Copies of this chain bind each other. A is one copy, B any other.
Amino acid sequence: MGWIDEEHQGVRYGLSGDVLVEERSPFQRISVICSERYGKGLLLDGCWMTAEHQERHYHEPLVHPALCTAQSIERVLIIGGGDGGTARECLRHTDVTHLDMVEIDGRVVELSRTHLPMIGGSAWSDPRFHLTIGDGIAWVSDSAEQSYDVVLVDGSDPAGPAVGLFNRTFFEQCRRILRPGGVFATQSESPEAFRAVHVAIVRLLREVFGHADPLYGWVPMYPSGWWSWTFAAVDGPRYKSPISPRAALIQHDCQIWSPRWQRGGFDAIPYSIELELQNE
C-alpha cells in the first residue's frame, strides 16, 4: 500500500492503495489502481478519472439532467466515456433505443472492462449499445444533421486527447447534429480549480446554442472536489425541467440525482461566478 496522488496547482488529492496496471497507450498514460476507500480506480495521465465507489457522483449528474429533459431520447451519442459509466446510466432509460459511444482510446475500454466491470455493468452487452473506437470530433462532423436527441461529452480536462472537445467548431457541430427538442451536455470542469476554463465553456455554449447553464455537484477525487456539468439547448432551458414519468423511473436507483437535487445544482451557482457570467 502506498499513496497515489494527483497534484494540481500546489494541491494534492491522494488515495491509499496499490497500482495494478500502468501503461502508455498511443494517447495517454493509463493507470488502474486498487484503493482502500473507493475500490478500484482509473487515472489518465496521472489525473483521477473514476473509481468504483465514487463514480456515481460524476455519472448521474452528467446523464439524468439531459435524459430526463430532452423531448425524445431515442438516439443518444456519448463522446468519450471509456469506463462505461455514462453508457450504463443512459441505458437505464428504457426509451433509449440506440446509443452510440465513440471513445478515442481502445485501451481505456479494454482495461475498464477487465478491471472495472461494475462501472459499465450490463452496458457492454446491451443490444442498444454501439461502441466505436475512434475520433469523436470526426464522428460528430460526419454525422447527419439532426441525427441525435442527446449528445453527451464525457472527456477529460481540455489538454491531451480531449483538447478538441471544448471549442466553438466542435460545439457548433454538436448543435448541428441535435434534433429539435434535443439536449447537449458536457462536463465543464471545477469552478474553483479551473475557474477560467469553466466560465469560458459556459459562455461559449450560450453563444452557440442560445441557452446553456452550469449545474454544480461534487466529485471528491477531482481537483477541489467541486465539479460542474453544463447543459445546452436551442429551444430554451428545457434541461431545467425533468419530465416526471421519466424521472420517476430513474430516481429510485440513484444515489445523488433527483429532480430536487437537479434544481439545487442549477441554483447553487457561486455568486461571484453568476456575476462573471452576467458581464459578458
- Whether A257 is near chain B, meaning CB under 8 Å from some CB there, is yes
- Whether A95 is near chain B, meaning CB under 8 Å from some CB there, is no
Q: How many residues of chain A are within 8 Å of chain B by beta carbon? A: 42
Using an 8 Å CB-CB cutoff, how does the interface string of A236-280 with B read, 1 for contact, 0 for none?
000000000000000100111110110111111111101000000
In-complex Cβ contact of A267 among B217, B251, B263 (8 A): B263
Most buried by B among A12, A263, A268: A268
Chain B positions within 8 Å of A15 at CB level: 10-11
Stretch with Cβ within 8 A of B (4 or more), from A116-124, A162-170, A204-212, A219-227: A219-227
Bound Cα distance from A35 to B35, whole angstroms: 27
Bound Cα distance from A260 to B224, whole angstroms: 22
Most buried by B among A13, A216, A220, A265: A220
Instruction: List residues of A whose CB falls within 8 A of some B CB.
Output: 3, 5, 9-17, 35-37, 192-193, 216-218, 220, 224-226, 251, 254-258, 260-261, 263-272, 274
